[in-house]
A and B are shown apart, each in its own frame.
Chain A
Amino acid sequence: MSAYAGDVAALARKDLLLEFRSRDTLPAMLLFVVSALTIFHFALPSGSSERAETGLLWIAIVFTALLGLTRAFAAEREQGVLDGLVLAPCDRSAIWLGKTIGVTVFLVLAELVALPAFALFFHPLSWDLVAAVALADIGIASIGTLLAAMAAASRARELLLPLLFLPLAIPVVIGGVGASIASNPGSFLGFLILYDGVFAILSWASFEYVVTE
């Protein structure tokens, strides 16, 4: 059990260190999300409701996540490292968990900039929204890591990942926006927890089938 945890920690640390040294994914995500918010301002005619603005925030989160996910296995592919990882004497699902933790950290870091930027550009945020974003990050990272591995096997990976990801992201957006604007966000936050639980377990269990040759 502790060997498993050790593998996961090592894999997550590898991803984060790689990013810290090369600094190519995170700055792009940060810039993307702020650009997106700026475009949203121009896309919304004046007098648009706060609810519409909140909805757009969630779109920005989903698409920024997509941007980050496309990079999730890019590094491995470029160096043919994924094969090596799969041959490593560790449980394949540990690869999933390590990667998912890495992706979650990326998302959180991106949102540490995105949420204050949103509050600055549009309107103040509620703690429910922050909680919803945190929960959504887990769900998005879980399925995103799995789908990125799936798309890596195809000929059109940059195009395929968004296609596979967006239908699955619809419930996340529903839960997130609902929690952000409802007077009683409890059921929406509960739903997000359910989503995270169900899809994280499914992704964890099925990752090895997706990554084996």
Chain B
Amino acid sequence: MSTAEKYVTGAYLVLLGSLLVYLLIIALKVGRLEEELADLARAAREKHSG
């Protein structure tokens, strides 16, 4: 692979890598949101029955 080809591929890999990192961040966020929702559901039930 010539130098030019290496750099061009690198640039496109930057895009791919950024998208995957973004996906990772969203996955972590969705997990956290689900936990928080479960917490709130518990709090709501306690308040309802309490």
A and B touch in the complex (CB under 8 A): no
Query: Could you tell me which A residues sit within 8 Å of B by CB distance?
Result: none
Query: Could you tell me which B residues sit within 8 Å of A by CB distance?
Result: none
